[in-house]
Chain A
Amino acid sequence: MTELNCQEFVEQVTTFLEGALDADAEQRFIDHLALCDGCDRYLDQIRQTVQALDGLPAKTISPATREALLNTFRSQS
């Protein structure tokens, strides 16, 4: 079983976070993580990125469209 290098590690973070690595691959991933501060930080930054995106406000429909839809709703009921 060959060891994972950092360049391989960074391409597996999502599969790891999704819990979709097979048992061997997951073991290699974790073994690398335990020994490499750079990859530990990379994985943490991916987690932080996901967290930062959570609930990010979106551009929304125009007030005029909103008003028109409310009017339609009102007239339908």
Chain B
Amino acid sequence: MEEFPPDEELVARLRKGDEAAFALVLDSWSGGLLRLARSFVSTEESAAEVVQETWLAVIEGIAGFEGRSSLKTWVYRILTNTAKRRGTREHKVVPLSSAGDGPTVDPARFRPADAPMPGHWWEFPPSWPTPEQGVLGSEVRALLAAALDGLPDRQRAVITLRDVEGYGSDEVCELLEISSANQRVLLHRARASVRGRLEQYYTQEANP
């Protein structure tokens, strides 16, 4: 992959109309933007339009970019603002309470209150195979993508930004306008749920 230029250089090139620089950010960030947009609007088509609108605003606004945040964060903020406006138009209301509650691991896997050692595992979680040289197969990647798709919107937004895109918790709270406690709950539920999908997959694979 091409070495990503530092912001200063990238912004200068974009302002000069360097098409290769624009293609680079377009290709690097559109996937993440699309996934994030999907958390705010109700359809894939709508999300794709939000991403397109975002890039148009970037082209329009790059001359006025002041560098107070990173370029990528600036682009992501344009996306969230665009998406939220549209989400409101589409009457897609994402309830703030959708963090959900209740246990993230099936309570049946733990000993009940009246058994000896209540709250302890009946059986330990099964172990997983070690991926060869840390490389995940395409099947696992497809499973992870499907697992993300299946998550409630806000959980998907948080886990995507944190674990897929590598944003820090402060940035994610700011982008999504949520408290750090809320962010943590959403991340926790999302991770537990994706772990559950992996467990299911590895267990089925072991006992076909």
Contacts and interface: CB of A to CB of B under 8 A. Distances in A.
Interface residues of A, number: 43
B51 interface: yes
B3 interface: no
B68 interface: no
B23 interface: yes
Interface in A5-61: 5-8, 10-11, 13-15, 18, 20, 36-39, 41-42, 45-46, 48-50, 52-61
A27 B56 CA distance: 51
Contacts of B103: 7, 10-11
Contact of B56 (A57, A60, A72): A72
Contacts of A54: 163-164, 166
- Determine the interface band of chain B, counting residues with CB < 8 A from chain A: 35 or more
A5 B16 CA distance: 60
B166 to A, nearest CB: 7
Interface of B: 16-17, 19, 22-23, 26-27, 30-32, 34-35, 48, 51-52, 55-56, 59-60, 103-105, 107, 110, 117-121, 123-125, 127-128, 136, 140-141, 144-145, 148, 159, 163-164, 166, 169, 180, 184, 187-188, 191-192, 194-195, 198-199
7 contacts: A20-B180, A45-B128, A46-B191, A49-B198, A60-B31, A65-B48, A70-B23
